[in-house]
Amino acid sequence: QGLLEGRYAIVTGAASARGLGKATAKLFADHGATIAILDLDANAAKAAAADLGEDHVGFACDVTDKTACASVASELKARWGRIDVLVNNAGITQPLKLMEIEPQNYEAVLDVNLRGTLYMSQAVIPGMREVGSGSIVNLSSVSAQRGGGIFGGPHYSAAKAGILGLTKAMARELAPSGVRVNAICPGFIATDITAGKLTDEMRAQVLAGIPMGRAGEASDVAGCALFLASDLSAYCTGTEVDVNGGSLI
């Protein structure tokens, strides 16, 4: 018996082949969930959904567009009758230093990571409240906790730290209606966001800061998302779970 048998789940930014969203969607589907993959490109989203099996669907949805989020959520609610799980995974990063950040950089990074998390959540919350249950999982980052990492600039840290505040505020407000909200803080995970961007020297430096001595895999994050999405975490809300190989010890 899967942990998400009969559940309906949305994963944003899940078309990227090596990404955390795709791995999460795959693990959820393996545990019995029906999945909607949302991403910028409709064909990529549909192809990623088809990879999971025939019941799953893919849609174009730019999470910075509040109307698009509402419209895809209402289409899914009409199709499925309910939405049980939302994983706010869509995110972008830009490796800029503090003084290099221009207004358009700040806007773009805050828009996708922070605004997108709010808009997509607002789109599913009324339906979750109606049925009296639901789990929302937000992707933050170790960059929020450490004030930066090797990939994201200060604006990325700010956006991901904003997600932690938003997670707690949402969790507090939604707890009485049975909806749980939690965040994951991944450390250094091997995906397209990190691929090919490190020199050997940078890589050695990053690994030296990870007590477990290895980069994380997308499946490490997916496992944590499964825990937070399922009833295994029924009494957890407003938490942040580190998936970082011990980077903050």
Q: Contact residues for ligand NAD (CB under 6 A)?
A: 12-13, 15-16, 19-21, 39-40, 62-64, 89-93, 112, 116, 139, 141, 186, 188-189, 191-194
Q: To the nearest whole angstrom, how small is the minimum distance from the Cβ of residue 59 to ligand NAD?
A: 10
Catalytic site includes residue 119: no
HEC per residue, the chain: CCCCCCCEEEEECCCCCCCHHHHHHHHHHHCCCEEEEEECCHHHHHHHHHHHCCCCEEEECCCCCHHHHHHHHHHHHHHHCCCCEEEECCCCCCCCCHHHCCHHHHHHHHHHHHHHHHHHHHHHHHHHHHHCCEEEEEECCHHHHHCCCCCCCHHHHHHHHHHHHHHHHHHHHHHHHCEEEEEEEECCECCCCCCCCCCHHHHHHHHHCCCCCCCECHHHHHHHHHHHHCHHHCCCCCCEEEECCCCCC
Q: Closer to ligand NAD by CB, 112 or 158: give it.
A: 112
Nearest to ligand NAD of 4, 15 (CB atom): 15
CB of 121 to ligand NAD, least distance (A): 14
Q: Minimum CB separation from ligand NAD for residue 15, in Å?
A: 5
Indicate the residue whose CB is closest to ligand NAD. Answer: 91
Nearer to ligand NAD, 134 or 152 (CB): 152
**Residue 59, φ and ψ in degrees, nearest 5:** -135, 150
Tally of residues, the chain: 249
Dihedrals phi, psi of 77, to nearest 5 degrees: -65, -40
Considering beta carbons, is residue 107 or 130 the nearer one to ligand NAD? 107
**Minimum distance from residue 24 beta carbon to ligand NAD (Å):** 9
Residues contacting residue 1 through CB under 8 Å, at least 6 positions apart:
32
Please state the closest distance from residue 145 (CB atom) to ligand NAD, in A.
10
**Annotated catalytic residue: which of 8, 106, 119, 156?**
156
Cα–Cα distance, 4 to 83 (Å, whole number) = 12
Closer CB to ligand NAD, residue 109 or residue 171? Answer: 109
Show which residues are catalytic. 156
